[in-house]
Structures are given as C-alpha cells and as structure tokens.
Amino acid sequence: LSAYPGRFKTQNQIHCGERVSGNQSLTGFLGRTEAFLAFVIKYEAMKKAKTYFIFTFGCQMNKSDSERVAGDYQARGYKAAKNVDSADEIIINTCSIRKSAEDRARSLINNLAQKFRGMAKKPKIILTGCMIHHGEENLLRMLPFVDEILPISEVGFNSAAVRRDKRHAWIP
C-alpha cells in the first residue's frame, strides 16, 4: 500500500474507523479490496508495458509482415516505441532478394550493437524475414548480437495487423 500513497485505506484503518460487524460492512470492505487489487493490476500493467520497434527492409510483402508482427506484439500488451532508444525489443524484418538489402540489415544490426554496447538496459534484437534462409546457426555466427531468429511464417496470424497504409487494400 505504501507504493500507492493516498489512494486506499489500509486494512487497519478500515477496521479501526468503521464498524465491521454484519455482512454489509464486510461486503463494503471486500468491495474496496477488489477495487484496490484492480487498481494495482492496472497500475503495474501500465508501469511495466514493454515496447517494440520494427525496422522493415524490402518489398510490400515485408511491410505487410511487419504490420502483422506489430499486431501480434500489441495483442500481447506491448506498445510501439517512438524510437529505437526506448524499445525493449527491436524487430528487424529483412529482405534477401538483393545483396544491398542484406548489407543494410547487417549494417543496422552492427550499428545497434555498438550503440547499446556497455549499457545496462539492452534491447532484445530479433531478426526475421527473408534473410533467415541462411539458417539460424550461420546467422548467429555472422551476427552474434542478434538475440533471436524468428521465422516470419510463425508470427501474427492470431491477431489483427496494425495497418499503417490507409490508401491501399490489404488482403490477409
């Protein structure tokens, strides 16, 4: 209760200041306890809401996949981060059709690794998209800063996508 000052009475204050005999007083006490627990759950959820940031390289399909990934994260209670510095998880959706796209993704991962090196709070870096055709072992050897390899085909089909493009049709 001390973490939430002034919001609720302690159990001792309720017993000392009010009559606790009879079902009505006990019901009132239980109602306040339920309200307090609901407040704590909501407060803790807001305080600990994790954030994500998505980088997308490549084609329209990758943009659609990134929207699907964002929908999955939001369904799990994550919030979109305003920038990469405030993100708890960074998802990099890659393209491997052209070598330049792979080079940009590798460069980004290396830049992020340098940026967060030595910091106490490091975001989790997740690699997904076409580039994972190289295989998990090869990618982790080439990019040791990546924390997780995520096959794009396994993400986001249980929740609605977060649409950023309001002009074009989207067919799931």
Per-residue pLDDT reduced to its tens digit, 134-165? 888 999 999 999 999 988 887 766 666 676 66
Per-residue pLDDT reduced to its tens digit, 120-130? 889 999 999 98
Contact 36, 138 (CB under 8 A): no
- Selection from 55, 122, 46, 51 nearest residue 80 by Cα: 51
Q: Tell me, what DSSP letter sits at residue 1?
A: -
